[in-house]
């Protein structure tokens, strides 16, 4: 019984994705009818300038927002876990970006940027993505810090180390796997994020990200190129998340 449920649920979850991946290697022009194996749609992606520039934009947005969010999120996690008292307002503020519906944050930022007459582009997408990425990095690092024995930092200070040395030699090495896991998670979320980017990208093609490009291609119709692009994007996400998961498990296992 339980086995049957698991098989059915995993079939439901993976068959649509498997069909998509299979069709990305389809030789024929029809996007959904199999007619032989080929890499040609991957080759044609490489020649599609719209997709390449969107991919570049996405890499820029994801890298910059991940870098900022990893720094700020890690510091936030350290600050929160060092506090002796627990503030529910603070917890709510940190938790909010994870539960607030994307569309609400998207229109809020759109209104905010246009009211301030900020010209929107990749930089505004970065500003927006950092908001939710801070929350995710912070929660991953905090999970690690929950089991962190703060007395070892006191021992380090007692042995003559400065605060900076203690952080560099003691705290950072212990939390580093969680920081990297958080960064990978943030990077994946940013690469995949569509709604907020769509609202904060401003006008023009110059700041189109990959999900925005995919959205307009899907609205235009089914093409084998989307299958190939989708396969690559999924592969990148899966690899990043598997590494992130591994690092996190290592943390738990310690």
Partner 1 sequence: MTPRSPLLMAPALAWLTGLMVVPCALVLALAFFRRGIYGGVEYTFTLENFAQVFDPLYAGIFLNSARIAGTATLIAVVIGYAAAYAIAAAPRHRQPIYLFFAVLPFWSNYLIRTYAWIVLLNREGLITQLLRSIGYTGEPPSLLYTEGAVIAGLVYNYLPFVILACYAPLSRLNPELAEASRDLGGSAFTTFRRIVLPLTLPGIAAGAVFVFVLSIGNFVTPALLGGGRFQMIGNLVYDQFLTANDWPFGAALSMVLIAIMMLLLTLQAFASERASGRATAREEAA
CB atoms under 10 Å from CB of 248, counted, come to: 20
CB 183 within 8 A of CB 137: yes
CB 180 within 8 A of CB 249: no
- Phi, psi (rounded to 5 degrees) for 41: -75, -30
Shortest distance, CB of residue 43 to partner 1, whole angstroms?
A: 20
Report the residue from 59, 60, 72, 180 that binds partner 1 according to the rule CB under 8 A.
Answer: 72
Binding residues with partner 1: total (CB under 8 A): 81
Residue 126 interacting with partner 1 (CB under 8 A): no
Q: Restricting to residues 183-212, name those near partner 1 by CB under 8 A.
A: 188, 191-192, 194-195, 199, 211
Report the residue from 54, 125, 128, 201 that binds partner 1 according to the rule CB under 8 A.
Answer: 128
Whole-angstrom CA distances from 139 to 49, 133, 145, 196 are: 38, 10, 10, 21
Residue 27 interacting with partner 1 (CB under 8 A): no
Residue 214 interacting with partner 1 (CB under 8 A): yes
Kindly tell me which of 135 and 140 has the beta carbon lying closer to partner 1. 135
Residue 234 interacting with partner 1 (CB under 8 A): yes
Q: How far is CA 236 from the centre of its chain?
A: 11
Report the residue from 27, 152, 155, 222 that binds partner 1 according to the rule CB under 8 A.
Answer: 222
Shortest distance, CB of residue 77 to partner 1, whole angstroms?
A: 9
Among 79, 12, 31, 49, smallest CA distance to 227 is for 31
Q: Restricting to residues 156-175, name those near partner 1 by CB under 8 A.
A: 163
Kindly tell me which of 5 and 46 has the beta carbon lying closer to partner 1. 5
Residue 182 interacting with partner 1 (CB under 8 A): no
Q: Which DSSP state fits 32?
A: T
Q: Which DSSP state fits 205?
A: G
Report the residue from 36, 219, 220, 253 that binds partner 1 according to the rule CB under 8 A.
Answer: 219
The residues, any chain, with a CB within 8 Å of residue 208's CB and separated by 6 or more, are 50, 53, 54, 57, 201
Q: Restricting to residues 52-71, name those near partner 1 by CB under 8 A.
A: 71
């Amino acid at each position: 019984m339980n086995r049957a449920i698991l098989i059915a649920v995993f079939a439901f979850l993976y068959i649509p994705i498997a069909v998509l991946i299979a069709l990305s290697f389809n030789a024929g022009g029809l996007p959904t009818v199999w007619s032989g194996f080929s890499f040609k749609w991957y080759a044609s992606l490489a020649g599609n300038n719209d997709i390449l520039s969107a991919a570049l934009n996405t890499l820029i947005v994801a890298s910059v927002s991940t870098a900022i969010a990893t720094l700020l999120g890690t510091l936030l996690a350290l600050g929160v876990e060092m506090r002796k008292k627990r503030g529910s307002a603070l917890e709510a503020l940190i938790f909010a970006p994870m539960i607030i519906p994307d569309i609400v944050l998207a229109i809020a930022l759109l209104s905010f940027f246009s009211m301030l007459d900020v010209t929107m582009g990749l930089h505004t997408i970065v500003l927006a993505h950092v908001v939710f990425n801070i929350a995710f990095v912070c929660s991953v690092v905090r999970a690690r810090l929950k089991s962190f024995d703060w007395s070892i930092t006191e021992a380090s200070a007692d042995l003559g180390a400065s605060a900076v040395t203690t952080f560099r030699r003691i705290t950072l090495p212990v939390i580093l796997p969680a920081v990297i896991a958080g960064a990978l998670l943030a990077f994946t979320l940013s690469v995949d994020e569509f709604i907020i980017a769509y609202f904060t990208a401003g006008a023009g093609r110059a700041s189109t990200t990959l999900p925005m490009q995919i959205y307009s291609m899907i609205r235009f119709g089914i093409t084998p190129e989307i299958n190939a692009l989708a396969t690559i994007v999924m592969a990148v996400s899966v690899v990043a998340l598997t590494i992130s998961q591994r690092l996190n498990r290592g943390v738990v296992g310690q």
